[in-house]
Amino acid sequence: MLKNKKIVLVFGLVIFISLPIFSNSNKEKASETSDKVTTFTAFFADPNSSWNGMQDDVGKFLTEKTGVTLNVEMAVGDPAQKINLIAASGVYPDLISPKGDNGALIESGALIDLTDLIDKHAPNIKAVLGDQIKRLRHSYEDQSIYFIPTLDAINQYYYKVGGPFNLQLDVVEKLGYPEIRTLEDYEAAIKAYVEKYPTIDGQKTIGLSLLADDWRIMISTTNPAFFATGAPDDGEFTIDPKTFDAMLHYKRPAEREYFRWLNHMNDIGLLDKESFVQKYDQYLAKIAAGKVLAVIDQDWEIGQAVNSLKSEGKFNRTYGKFPVTLDESYKIPVFQQAGFNGGWGIAITKSCKDPVKAIKFLDYLASEEGQILVNWGIEGKHYNYNEKGERIIPADVLDMKINDNNKFKKETGVGNYLLSLRYGDGNKDSTGNYYTTNYPEQILSDYSDFEKKVLKNYNATFWKDLFPKEDEFPVKPWGAAWNIPIPNDSPITVFQQKEQDIIRQLIPEAIMATPAEFDGIYDKMLAQLEAIDSTKIEKEYTSYVKKRIKLWTE
Amino acid sequence: MKRKKINVDRVFNTFNGLIMAIVLIVTLYPFLNVLAVSLNESLDTVKGGITIFPRKFTTENYKVIFTYQNLLNAFFISVLRTVVGTVAGLIASSMVAYTLSRSDFQARKFFSTFLVLTLYVSGGLIPGFLLMRDLHLINSFWVYILPAIVNAFYIFMIRTYMEGLPFELQESAFIDGASDITVFIKIILPLSTPVLATIALFIAVGQWNSWFDTYLYNGSNDLLSTLQFELMKILQSTQTGSDMARNNNVLEQMTTVTPDSIKMAITIVTVVPIIMVYPFLQKYFVKGMTIGAVKS
């Protein structure tokens, strides 16, 4: 009997507790219809854990100003799954930001063409874009504008060097700051240091380590080949700047020489023997131990290991970035500008309650007032102007921003509303201040004293000073080729899979072979690429590049 | 002769013990490693070499997780769906199973075949979503409970067990004037506790671990969010957070915690509550209550 009573009690409790759950849906409806505030539902492909349901300072201000509040759902796991579900079920949110997985939405007609809405209701968006509004058009066949780009900022000016040729600061310091300009210099520095210091902290010194763990092989092993030979990052294809012909970048004769150099590094024992078998975490562990002199990689890939070194105060084991190329006739094009890429952004769907209000909301975010709001916060609270008219973040706010960024974003909302068109770093507003909070002086505070000392010996303040500048290269008229939308049914998609299988097998094989065998293996690789119709695919790719250029200029 | 026998026993025991010890280590080690990494400083973990003890102890990784809002509410919903889902699932599955176990049930074969089909054929993601929408189960707690309230596999497990019970027990009850319901509740269910406990565990673990249905059906409703879904979100956003550095325009990088450490801490947070259920169900895994119940 006692047992039965307990069960009844538990059941009673469960039912009592679940009752309020039933009534949820009613509550929500009530809030939607209240006075002038419109609640737009939205789906974002990028999760943002700092999103606070617009209850942060900036969010409240935005609601007051625009009469809009957002009820956001964010992707978890693979966004494509949910987006395809949204497209197929016809249950669209008011706004959607699908990133790359927009094909199904466009094909099912879920998105509305924004051309007219922008023309009539969005003066700020128009002003920010200017001529580049052409770059928003979806494709040559379908010239509708579906997205207000949010991923790429306009006129983004980069201060930071991402990579790829890193050399430990201790190496250049101990060797008396030699010029590091070519692969030869790079190799000589590594070699001299290894001979001088065969061990670091009791562990064997590793000259150069590469990473080839799955897709990461592109970042650390194959992409640097085009950087070192003067070609910009266009993914697996390289685009001829005059004829716009696409070609697999491995076919460029100069790149064979780059891989030959890696083969040579292996031959003389400077290349880490584990390069092509190590996993990402093993690679990071090596770098974090401070024993790897040179890594050819991007900043974001080795960031964790470098942070680990910094946390232990081993600043001499962190890396400097050098404009290394095959020989002096090349210029490393890491700062070559692609222009505004358009592309991924936020769209208004067919089921949107009030498209005009939605576009006006996005337009406000793109206005000068709006952009300062989303980047800096609210005047008097998150920033002030000093007597010189410079925008300053108060010390307590800055302290929270640096040391507890998560809390900062949640409470202030700064950085949570990059939902519309905006200028990138390095652009000044009408008050003469930068739109964004990233500016050159800020990077300096990130440098360690050791780093500053090394840079001073190279007569530079920033790593960027060592590199060829933006204006030394023409702006690429095709943008970045890797984000040209390729239809799912195109043979290019299948080709790229096969191509990767060949590359990931034969490039490591060529590098690990003896110098005499190198050419044979490289030729075998090119022959295999030819066997899967690479020439035909290149022609197909060329047509997409040319179409994009036509779409953007006509 | 005698001495030899003892030796054989001893050899068996030694090897048995050894093999069990190896099995124990192999199964326990990964878990201890996860625990150690979750309690180790992130930037130290990057250097590798953590085994079963943290090298630099910290609770920072857990702090990061527990600063997220809505975890308490989500935890509550997770517990609720586990309890309600398990109880409802057990009741429904055992009732179907009992019906199917009775040989005097005419449509037995048809329903069995029908249930088997559901094991092999499913409607797929999008039709499933459309069905839930038309049933008005979206944005509702009951979408966690109702769609999967009966599961063919569980039904068959329970049915097989029930068929193994001596039918004479039911027969004698019927002779004493008991109805089908009485027999089911008073005789069958009490005798089936081992299989019911097993199934309860299956359902409970499944309910506890599931996050995808939250994402599909209730993703926009914070009140109905589950713990696993919230943890999944944290994991994803720490990962994108570090990926963001690729865009170069995000200068402020996460310096104190790495996605890997967060992942380990999340694993611990997920696993510990459900592990605590096991000891309570242990006592039901007792067989043999029916032995000697019937004399023939």
Prediction ipTM score: 0.73
- Cβ-defined contact of A41 to B233 (cutoff 8 Å): no
The structural domains of chain B, with segments of one domain joined by +, span: 1-58, 61-296
Cα–Cα dist A423/A56, whole Å: 23
Q: Evaluate if residue B59 carries a pLDDT over 50.
A: yes
Q: Is B51 on the interface with A (CB under 8 A)?
A: no
**Average pLDDT rounded to a whole number, residues A327-331:** 92
| pLDDT band at residue A30 using 50, 70 and 90 as cut-offs | very low
Q: What SS3 string covers A268-327?
A: CCCECCCCCCCCHHHHHHHHHCCCEEEEECCHHHHHHHHHHHHHCCCHHHCEEECCCECC
**Distance of residue A526 Cα from the nearest chain B Cα, in angstroms:** 31
Q: Calculate the average pLDDT of chain B.
A: 84
Out of A21, A71, A303, closest to residue B224 by CB: A21
Extract the tokens encoding B285: 């895994």
pLDDT tens for B150-164 read 999 999 999 999 998
pLDDT at residue B254 in the model: 47
Fold of B61-296: MetI-like fold (1.10.3720)
pTM of the model: 0.79
- Cβ-defined contact of B253 to A153 (cutoff 8 Å): no
Cα–Cα dist B205/B193, whole Å: 18
Cα–Cα dist A290/A78, whole Å: 35
Q: Is B146 on the interface with A (CB under 8 A)?
A: no
pLDDT tens for A110-147 read 899 999 999 999 999 998 888 888 888 888 888 889 99
- Cβ-defined contact of A85 to B125 (cutoff 8 Å): yes
Out of B125, B248, B258, closest to residue A304 by CB: B258
**Residue ranges of domains in chain A, CATH in brackets:** 35-156+340-412 (3.40.190.10), 165-333+447-553 (3.40.190.10)
pLDDT at residue B250 in the model: 40
Counting runs of H as helices and runs of E as strands, what totals does chain A give?
23, 15
Chain A residue whose CA is closest to B130: A89
Q: Evaluate if residue A389 carries a pLDDT over 60.
A: yes
Q: Is B18 on the interface with A (CB under 8 A)?
A: no
Q: A20 with B86: CB under 8 angstroms?
A: no
Q: Is B242 on the interface with A (CB under 8 A)?
A: yes
Extract the tokens encoding A176: 């008396």
Out of A25, A74, A282, closest to residue B233 by CB: A74
Q: Is B144 on the interface with A (CB under 8 A)?
A: no
Identify the top-confidence range among A6-10, B5-9, B107-111: B107-111
Output phi, psi for A428, to 5 deg: -105, 145
Looking at per-residue pLDDT, the higher value among B240 and A47 belongs to: A47
Give the DSSP letter of residue A218. I
Which one of B66, B255, B260, B264 makes the best mutation probe of the A interface by having the most chain A beta carbons within 10 Å? B255
Q: A150 with A96: CB under 8 angstroms?
A: no
Taking CB atoms and an 8 Å cutoff, what residues of chain B touch A88? Answer: 126, 129
Taking CB atoms and an 8 Å cutoff, what residues of chain A touch B236? Answer: 47, 75-77
Q: A167 with A320: CB under 8 angstroms?
A: yes
Q: Is B1 on the interface with A (CB under 8 A)?
A: no
Q: Evaluate if residue B290 carries a pLDDT over 60.
A: no
How many cross-chain Cβ pairs, A to B, lie less than 8 Å apart? 141
Which one of B42, B47, B76 makes the best mutation probe of the A interface by having the most chain A beta carbons within 10 Å? B47
pLDDT tens for A238-280 read 999 889 999 999 999 999 999 999 999 999 999 999 999 999 9
- Cβ-defined contact of A304 to B43 (cutoff 8 Å): yes
